[in-house]
């Protein structure tokens, strides 16, 4: 078990909000969907896109670079690259799909804590 590190205040994240935080050298995407908080590695496992700049729809985050999608609940790949054709096949061949690293999130009072 890791240790809990404060990532944000509850008041900083409205519903369907996301925020990039750096905790102990790790870049993490922190998101709130409804009354649940999620924390995953902030960089897309395809070509390192900044997921905090991507689109959040429910628990699905879309990478702004090549539109790969991940589920914040478990880091799983929903879609690996967008589109079809030669460019998509080459991109997929260069790097196979990998899930995002997930972090346990706990709320204590107004503090959103991430286990590192």
- The per-residue pLDDT of the chain, averaged, comes to 92
Q: Is the dihedral of CA 70, 75, 76, 77 positive or negative?
A: positive
In the chain, % of residues over pLDDT 70: 89
Kindly report which listed range (6-10, 31-35, 82-86) carries the lowest average pLDDT score: 82-86
List the one residue out of 79, 35, 74, 34 whose CA is nearest residue 54. Answer: 79
pLDDT digits (tens, 9 = 90+) for 67-100: 999 999 999 999 998 755 555 555 555 668 999 9
List the one residue out of 91, 29, 41, 95 whose CA is nearest residue 66. Answer: 91
- Confidence (pLDDT) at 24: 96
Sheet holding 26-33, edge to edge: 17-23, 26-33, 36-41, 102-103
Q: If you average pLDDT over residues 4-27, what whole number do you get?
A: 97
Element (H, E) at 88: helix 86-94
Q: Which CATH architecture has domain 4-115?
A: 3-layer Sandwich (2.102)
Hey, where are the domains in the chain? 4-115
């Amino acid at each position: 078990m890791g240790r809990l590190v404060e990532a944000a205040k509850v008041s900083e994240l409205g519903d369907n909000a996301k925020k990039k935080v750096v905790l102990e050298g790790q870049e993490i995407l922190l998101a709130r969907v409804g009354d649940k908080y999620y924390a995953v590695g902030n960089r897309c496992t395809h070509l390192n896109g900044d997921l905090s700049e991507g689109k959040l729809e429910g628990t699905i985050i879309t990478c702004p670079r090549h539109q790969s999608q991940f589920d914040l609940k478990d880091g799983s790949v929903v879609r690996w690259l967008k589109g079809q054709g030669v460019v998509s096949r080459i991109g997929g061949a260069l790097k196979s799909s990998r899930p995002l690293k997930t972090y346990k999130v706990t709320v204590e009072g107004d503090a959103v804590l991430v286990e590192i």
